[in-house]
Amino acid sequence: MATTTKPRAAVAPIFRKQARVQSQKEDAERTSLRDAFNKAGVATFVSTSMCVAHKGAQHIVSELIYIGDIAHYRLTPLFWAYLRHAFDNATRACEAWKLDGSTYSELLERISRIYNMALMQFGETDIKSAEQSFTPAKWKRHCERLAQGAKPINDEFDTDMQTGTYRFPADGTGAYHPVSKTALALVDAIRDKAIAAGWTMPQLYRNVGIANRDWGLVCYIGQEDRIGAITRQSIEIVHRSTGGARSLHFYNHEVDQPWLRLPTDGNAQNTRSEKEGGETHEI
């Protein structure tokens, strides 16, 4: 006996529209993350305790990473709004004598730093809009979406393999210098201190441009190197080898040096040099 096949029901137009809107929303979010990376030169991640981690281009559209067992969320207007909400709760707790003043001061310092990052990457309009529209339920839905997505990247064990995709600036042209994950991690660790001392993001992270002249600190850190003293004039690179440790210095030629008086046009470059016997040798 012949049987008839029931025709498959067509997808309702409303569901096709919802899928299209969701796809457009995701594309816009990825574009926003790329734009933020291009402005900062790094992908910024923050834990709920407001500890900051900066990552390279391999994380350009990542939304969540784990460092050890601690989740670090990508800094976005929504996550900033969540942090602001949490800080407001901390403020009320401090006013009610449920949070000690030293802890509150530390949180204030951290959130002020994060606010400046968010402002630079996304602008005041997007930040204020996210604050005004924030609800705990919206943040919960965001976390549930992340939990349903791909497995978050665990960055606990950085290797010294070259990133391959790291470029700063992302749209820069010129000579390209490969950068290792170890070098990025070391520069990430001293970034805030160096910026406070007067260094710029390109001086620290640039790896595309005129060879040697434009390359930043991250290009000169080897597998066995560590970063030492940081001053306005130079950053020490402690190089370890079988012959023992020696200090190399990455100089900031945008400021006066003991042997250099800046020309009036400010044309300068950064140079890594080796100090031996009280003399400075450019290399």
Provide the whole-model pTM: 0.49
35, 163 contact by CB (below 8 A): no
- DSSP designation for 57: G
Q: In whole angstroms, give the CA distance from residue 20 to residue 28.
A: 12
If one compares 106 and 159, the residue with the highest pLDDT of the two is 106
Burial classification of residue 231, based on how many CB atoms lie within 10 Å of its CB (0-12 exposed, 13-18 middle, 19 or more buried)? middle
Band (127; pLDDT cuts 50, 70, 90)? very high
**Side chain identity at residue 202, one-letter code:** P
Work out the average pLDDT over 47-76: 86
Q: What is the pLDDT of residues 204-232, one digit of tens each?
A: 988 887 777 788 998 888 878 899 999 99
Percentage of residues in the chain with pLDDT exceeding 90? 19
Band (128; pLDDT cuts 50, 70, 90)? very high
Q: Which of 20-29, 161-170, 188-197 has the highest mean pLDDT?
A: 188-197
Report the pLDDT value the prediction gives residue 247, as an integer from 0 to 100. 87
Half-sphere exposure at residue 52, Cβ-oriented, CA atoms within 13 angstroms: 23
